[in-house]
Structure 1
Amino acid sequence: MQSDNMTEQAVPSPHPMAVTRRQALLMASAMACVAPAAVAQPRPVAFASRPVTLVVPFTSGSGSDTIARLIGPRLGELWKQAVVVDNRPGASGNLGADRVAKSAPDGQNLLMAINTITATPALYKTLPFDPAADFTPITQLATAGFALIVNPDVPAKDMRSLLAYIKSRPAASLNYASPGNGTPHHLGFELMKQALGIDVVHVPYKGLAGAVTDLMGGQVQMMLATVQSVLPQVQAGRVRMLGVTGSARSPLVPDVPTFREQGISSLEGVDAWYAVLGPAGMAAPLVERLQQDFVQVMQQPDLQKKLAELGLTVHTGSPAELRTLMTTDMARWKKVVADARIQAE
């Protein structure tokens, strides 16, 4: 018996390090089991009890407003979170942009931006924000093509004959309309003037409706406008469309050739684009999640169909691609504005 007892005492007890290793293995196993559940937790855009706000810096019915109201409910379903659209028009979109620029970088306030934001640094001597430094690019959303339209009395059937007609007339004897100083319509036409060496006088209006009305009446002879905004007038024969921007013809007017088809490359990149921006300083995981979710919504077939009917083509991309687009546009419009001596009203 004594021998047996001695034998029992001779058996070494478990080493403390061995126990620690076993515990570590158990902990690792437990972590592996709960990892899928962690992934399934609410996304980083599930913001407490407050709604996510899509700030539209223009009036109701504008392109950015239309997109926001179409995607808002879909984002809300994806995030299980209320999403509201807040229209903050004024100062060419600067009021709404400034609100987002000065908001917390938590993703609760997002700007439904259009490409006018890349022209504002050139148009305004002072801005309450810096488009390059005060925003976090998230993703581009869509584009809308521009078209050159003329009064039916203008003897031109395509861009080549229009340019010949302009150059045959006395300098500054023809006019073009725009919805206002510094609008994409204005800047795009000035870019074309500079590239093609034509002399046409700018007549700014306070909005698109007045510009199109006077174009139909012959007070002005031509203008750039988004395809969908003048489609009814084109279909009714009140204005004639000579060319469209983009790499492919617009499905809304498949019989109208692109400028590129007609040998004109100066209007590359003039298309109106729509994008979503957040305030500067947003965390990378949040930006990535937002980008993925916006792209997921924009890729829904029924949404793409609705946007196509409105003349909008879905075009998404990475935050880096959007930043590059903004930087390129800012450089382009800075030169156009300086050369044309454009000032915002």
Structure 2
Amino acid sequence: MDRRQFLSTAAIAVAAGVAPHAMAQQWPARAIRLVVAYPPGGGTDVVARLFADYLGRVTGQPVVVENKPGGATIPATQDVIRARNDGQTLLVTLGSSATSGAHINRVPYDPLTDLTALAELGRAPVLLAANKDAPYNTLKELVAYAKANPGKPIHSASYGPGTSSHFGPLLFNRLAGTNLEPVLYKGSAPATQDLVGGVVPLMIDGLTTGVPLYQAGKTKVLATTIPERSELAPGAPTFRELGYPEMEQLSGYFALFGPKAMPKETVEAVSAAVRKVLADPAYQKRLAGVGVLPPQAVTPEAFATQIRADHARWGQFIKDIGFKLEGS
């Protein structure tokens, strides 16, 4: 480009309100802000911080993790929706916040259109854990205990509305005729704290946080949603082998979103960086170490398709169980 062409291009850019250097600016231009919709210490936070570490190595830019828990993930999601669509602000949350959770909370946005689906960061099988002093040591004993006490709800801690920990007990009730009752908390950390402390006797939790508690002897694992027994908890049976394969649909995933209408070039740049992180053997090993399985939808197109399908599937489940919003 000669001097006259450059000046002409620069003039057009200035007229459009864009600095000439911004036209060629590539993502990421500066530090990346990673908003996490759950509290520090929970499974989503663990995965987000691990991802942030490797994303920083791939991009050469700092990745600042900011936890914004509570409010059924609405504050964190709105924060990212309102951010500039340059990819400098991204959201890490559970996929359920955009699928099942969007059906049960009065959200001031449409997760299918007001966010840019970028990638799944990892699969999140779940387990049903019991307090170590609970009066049942197996799933069969839990079912027998529930049926022997039909008028006594068995509380199960939940780390958020619309999550596996919320709908899991309700799904199991339909399958086994039990009377489990979800108790909602503002994230995995406070929920597991009350599980260990005996405030609540049960919790459906991710392997990321649930397995270390089990290995430390602080909880009992009654079943997992992995089709085959996990090396992390070889003594824990699967729901499938116990006769409840339908519980496997509770396995969730950690999700990466961006603001609405991100430019195609930015989406491609973010996606390329994410795929490099996900392909790193060291990253995969660390994910496996915290009980997270490899992701299935790593491209934006595949992930958007997955989100839409799960949104429809959970919407039908919620309709089937007759769940209603308060005041509706």
CA spacing shift, 1:176–1:106, aligned 2, 3 Å: same
Contact 1:145-1:244 at 8 Å conserved across structures: yes
Instruction: Show the counterpart of 2:39.
Output: 59
CA spacing shift, 1:46–1:209, aligned 2, 3 Å: closer
1:188 and 2:168 correspond: yes
1:45 and 2:24 correspond: no
Contact 1:174-1:221 at 8 Å conserved across structures: no
Q: Gapped runs of 5+ residues in structure 2?
A: 1-23
Tell me how far apart the structure 1 counterparts of residues 271 and 316 of structure 2 sit (CA, whole Å).
31
Tell me how far apart the structure 2 counterparts of residues 199 and 290 of structure 1 sit (CA, whole Å).
45
Shift of 1:111: 1.1
Shift of 1:153: 4.6
Contact 2:72-2:160 at 8 Å conserved across structures: no
Instruction: Show the counterpart of 2:309.
Output: 328
The one-letter amino acid of 1:173's match is K
The one-letter amino acid of 2:268's match is E
Instruction: Show the counterpart of 1:121.
Output: 102
CA spacing shift, 1:212–1:88, aligned 2, 3 Å: closer
Tell me how far apart the structure 2 counterparts of residues 205 and 99 of structure 1 sit (CA, whole Å).
21
Q: Gapped runs of 5+ residues in structure 1?
A: 1-41
Tell me how far apart the structure 2 counterparts of residues 211 and 74 of structure 1 sit (CA, whole Å).
28
Instruction: Show the counterpart of 1:255.
Output: 235
1:341 and 2:323 correspond: yes
Alignment of 1:259-274 (within 5 A): 259-274=239-254
- Report Cα offsets for 1:244-281 as digits up to 9, x if no partner: 01233233102222212222122223123112111222
Instruction: Show the counterpart of 2:74.
Output: 94
CA spacing shift, 1:148–1:69, aligned 2, 3 Å: closer
1:223 and 2:203 correspond: yes
Shift of 1:211: 5.0
Tell me how far apart the structure 2 counterparts of residues 220 and 64 of structure 1 sit (CA, whole Å).
22
CA spacing shift, 1:180–1:111, aligned 2, 3 Å: closer
Instruction: Show the counterpart of 1:171.
Output: 150
Tell me how far apart the structure 1 counterparts of residues 309 and 171 of structure 2 sit (CA, whole Å).
14
Instruction: Show the counterpart of 1:281.
Output: 261
Match of 2:135 among 154, 169, 178: 154
Tell me how far apart the structure 2 counterparts of residues 257 and 241 of structure 1 sit (CA, whole Å).
8
Contact 2:42-2:209 at 8 Å conserved across structures: no
| Secondary structure in structure 2 of the residue aligned to 1:260 | coil
The one-letter amino acid of 1:341's match is F
Match of 1:139 among 96, 119, 129: 119
TM-score by length of 1: 0.74
Tell me how far apart the structure 2 counterparts of residues 43 and 258 of structure 1 sit (CA, whole Å).
50
| Secondary structure in structure 1 of the residue aligned to 2:118 | strand
Further displaced range: 335-344 or 240-249: 335-344
Tell me how far apart the structure 1 counterparts of residues 60 and 201 of structure 2 sit (CA, whole Å).
51
Further displaced range: 116-125 or 292-301: 116-125
Contact 1:307-1:313 at 8 Å conserved across structures: yes
Tell me how far apart the structure 2 counterparts of residues 178 and 71 of structure 1 sit (CA, whole Å).
27
Further displaced range: 50-59 or 234-243: 234-243
CA spacing shift, 1:43–1:299, aligned 2, 3 Å: farther
Shift of 1:322: 1.7
Shift of 1:226: 2.1
CA spacing shift, 1:173–1:251, aligned 2, 3 Å: same
* CA RMSD, 1 decimal: 3.0
The one-letter amino acid of 2:312's match is A
| Secondary structure in structure 2 of the residue aligned to 1:67 | helix
Instruction: Show the counterpart of 1:302.
Output: 282
Q: Please say which structure displays the higher CA radius of gyration.
A: 1
Tell me how far apart the structure 1 counterparts of residues 120 and 224 of structure 2 sit (CA, whole Å).
21
| Secondary structure in structure 1 of the residue aligned to 2:52 | helix
Contact 1:187-1:333 at 8 Å conserved across structures: no
Tell me how far apart the structure 2 counterparts of residues 238 and 52 of structure 1 sit (CA, whole Å).
37
Contact 2:130-2:203 at 8 Å conserved across structures: yes
TM-score by length of 2: 0.78
Shift of 1:236: 4.8
The one-letter amino acid of 1:240's match is K
Contact 2:28-2:88 at 8 Å conserved across structures: no
Contact 2:125-2:226 at 8 Å conserved across structures: yes
| Secondary structure in structure 1 of the residue aligned to 2:250 | coil
| Secondary structure in structure 1 of the residue aligned to 2:49 | helix
Instruction: Show the counterpart of 1:37.
Output: none
The one-letter amino acid of 2:27's match is V
Instruction: Show the counterpart of 1:77.
Output: 57
Further displaced range: 196-205 or 84-93: 196-205
